[in-house]
Amino acid sequence: MTNSLKQLIAGPCSAESREQVLETARQLADLKELTYFRAGIWKPRTAPGSFEGIGKEGLGWLKEVQETYQLKTITEVATPEHVEQCLQNDVDALWIGARTTVNPFYVQQIADSLKGVDIPVFIKNPLSPDVGLWMGAIERFKLLGISDVSVIHRGFFSYSKGIFRNPPMWEIPIKLKTEFPELQIICDPSHITGDSKLIEEVSKFAMQLGMDGLMIETHPHPKEAWSDSNQQVRPERLKEIVSAIVSRKANLAITHDEITMLRGKVDNSDGEMLKEIANRMEIVKEIANFKKEKCNLSINNNISR
């Protein structure tokens, strides 16, 4: 069942400079399916020393995007201070990142800081494949009366990645949809694939699964991006992907998509097999060492006798 594209969120992984933000918005402004212009202002990064976001200066650039191109804006919040600064600067919607959804205390603090505020909130799945944690985060917002809550499926951390940066484990968003049938689920193929070449296939697949929209990282010069450079597409490419999805082409491409997903599964199982073979080799080595020790012991015993 292919769903219509109800939400399209696009823009760079990170706001880097005023020029980069405004140039991306300029190139996206005529895309009629676009519902939000995204740009990360605060970037939670795994290692200290990587680019951790431009900070609140970037909120002024998002305001310029609203005023110049009449686009709605969205950014990531990870603390109540971020929420406050976004509200002061009229950001239109907020998303909670995967590294924040893992922690119920953080989620609760953010939800508390939004009590009584009428703003759409998008909750990314937690890094770990734990549907209960994701559902708990949704409930924390709903319990406080924050009603406009959607989710973003961005894949899950795994050691055996196969072709994906964050394997999608489609069964998890599907389970979420059965628990909350009214919930809008947006797919983020950028963080799932980690590879700009796979965005179109995964986007089509997500739409065929019945997801409600897409979040696709878009940068005027992806290779020069300060974060996630491998997975961002140029605005022109985004437009091609979107028109392939909204036209009938998406339906015709199902066989191709299914093959890509099956290839992904083969890669995952290859990864598992390699791990098992490595385990087996370790055990064989242990047996060999054990035999060697025993053998040396009995030779030594015979000599000393």
Q: What span, in angstroms and rounded, lies between the C-alpha atoms of 301 and 290?
A: 16
Smallest distance from Mn ion to CB 225, Å: 9
Over the window 174 to 193, marking each residue x when it contacts ligand PEP by CB under 6 A and - when it does not, the resulting string is -----------------x--
Interstrand relation of 7-11 and 36-38 (parallel, antiparallel or unpaired): parallel
Over the window 250 to 269, marking each residue x when it contacts ligand PEP by CB under 6 A and - when it does not, the resulting string is --------------------
Binding at 154: pick from Mn ion, ligand PEP, none (beta carbon under 5-8 Å per type): ligand PEP
**Burial class (CB within 10 angstroms; exposed 0-12, middle 13-18, buried 19+) of 118:** exposed
Smallest distance from Mn ion to CB 12, Å: 8
Nearest residue (CB) to ligand PEP, 27 versus 125: 125
Binding at 110: pick from ligand PEP, Mn ion, none (beta carbon under 5-8 Å per type): none
With binding defined as CB under 6 A, does residue 98 bind ligand PEP?
yes
Residue 279 neighbours by CB under 8 Å, 6+ apart: none
Per DSSP (E only), the strands in the chain are 7-11, 36-38, 73-76, 93-96, 121-124, 149-153, 185-187, 213-217
Nearest residue (CB) to Mn ion, 16 versus 228: 228
Q: What span, in angstroms and rounded, lies between the C-alpha atoms of 294 and 305?
A: 16
Neighbouring CB atoms inside 10 A of 136's CB total 15
With binding defined as CB under 6 A, does residue 124 bind ligand PEP?
yes
Smallest distance from Mn ion to CB 242, Å: 19
Apex CA 249: angle with CA 245 and CA 252, to 5°? Answer: 120
Smallest distance from ligand PEP to CB 124, Å: 5
Q: What span, in angstroms and rounded, lies between the C-alpha atoms of 201 and 82?
A: 34
Judged by CB under 6 A, the chain residues 25 through 44 that form the site for ligand PEP are 40
* Position closest to ligand PEP via CB: 97
Smallest distance from Mn ion to CB 228, Å: 4
Can you give the binding site for ligand PEP, defined by CB under 6 A?
A: 13, 40, 97-99, 124, 154, 191
